[in-house]
Amino acid sequence: MRLDLRTAALTEQEEQRVRIAAQLLAAHGGQARVGAWDGTRCDLVVLNADDGYGRHVLDIARRRGVPAVALGPLRPDTEPAGGIVAAEGSAASLAAALWRLVGTAAGEAATRPAPGVRNTAADQAGLLRLAATPLRGADVRATIAGRSIILRPSIGRTRGRTLSDLLAARDHLGEGGWQFEALAPGVDDAMPTDSAMSLDAFLLTGALRARAALPPFPDGEWALRDWPDLGAAADVVAGLRLAQRLRRAAATPQGLADGTGIARDVADACLWAFRAANLLTEIAAPVPRAPAAPPVVRQLLNRLAARFGLAR
């Protein structure tokens, strides 16, 4: 179980406690990625409830339904309910508070197959399913963790009810549990969508975040059939370099990594994103031609053909 854990208004010592608590979670099968609160969707937030900014983040978390752990006493007007708990003392007590909030999800994870065992297609990472037939290049409605978005390769866009939905879905592309529903090309879904972004940028940024969970890209000669729309995406320099290289000539995944100096896992993630966006094409190996027969052999064949009446 992977958790996106954010922190807000913490001291350096409190940040250290959070990181130790995240390590303690790993001993129970939880993998937490710790980062600073940036206003985007996350699984948990740890904050200082005695700080003005911390209380502001707590209000946002409550409105969004994000589980929160408050270090220090809660204010009298803050109810420790609805996914909000208080934690004091050691990193162990903080880890216990975190585990309390994710206990239900942990119980569900325990019933899933062991790593490397796949029971159904739904267990595969969403990005890998989008990169394979029949979903590759198809307009679909995709749902993960109760959030639905629209993916439309036909126009190169992805849409969601809110920007938070889009960002949360993007950050889950490397996980299983996705549900996909095919949509008729050119027909708008009834779901209201107020936010949109480039599909290529959505897939690429999500793939790079999930690269540790993605398998190596299949061997073969690959080329880009079209330039990806990455203008609105940040920190995608690697994707731009790989796209430029693939537009010049086809390459294997390892050759692409070696030729650009980009790490293989980063190159693989970009290739999975390009494949899911239906931008990649595999170059078939040329069929070897039989060598021409030597002149002496040709003369012998001609004589045999004439002997049996097969000469033209």
CATH 3.40.50.720 fits 2-110, yes or no: no
> What ranges make up the beta strands (E) of 145-255?
147-152, 157-160, 179-182, 195-198, 221-224
Q: What is the pLDDT of residue 187?
A: 60
Bridge-based pairing of strands 147-152 and 140-144 is antiparallel
Range of lowest pLDDT (36-45, 199-208, 268-277, 293-302): 293-302
Question: What are the b/e assignments for 135-157, b being 16+ CB within 10 Å?
Answer: beebbbbbbbeebbbbbbbeebb
What tens digit of pLDDT does each residue of 128-172 get? 999 988 888 889 999 988 889 999 988 889 999 888 889 889 989
Q: What is the mean pLDDT of the chain?
A: 77
Bridge-based pairing of strands 157-160 and 195-198 is antiparallel
The residue-averaged pLDDT of 252-260 equals: 91
Confidence of residue 115 (pLDDT cuts 50, 70, 90): very low
**84: pLDDT strictly greater than 50:** yes
Question: What are the b/e assignments for 216-247, b being 16+ CB within 10 Å?
Answer: ebeeeebbbeeebbbeebeebebbbbbbebbe
Q: What is the pLDDT of residue 150?
A: 92
**112: pLDDT strictly greater than 80:** no
Q: pTM for the complete prediction?
A: 0.56
**269: pLDDT strictly greater than 70:** yes
Confidence of residue 277 (pLDDT cuts 50, 70, 90): very high
The residue-averaged pLDDT of 199-222 equals: 89
How do the domains of the chain map onto residue ranges? 2-110, 123-206
**224: pLDDT strictly greater than 70:** yes
More confident residue, 230 or 153: 153
Q: What is the pLDDT of residue 307?
A: 64
Nearest C-alpha neighbor of 141 from the set 174, 187, 179: 179
The residue-averaged pLDDT of 223-230 equals: 87
- Percent of the chain surpassing pLDDT 70: 68
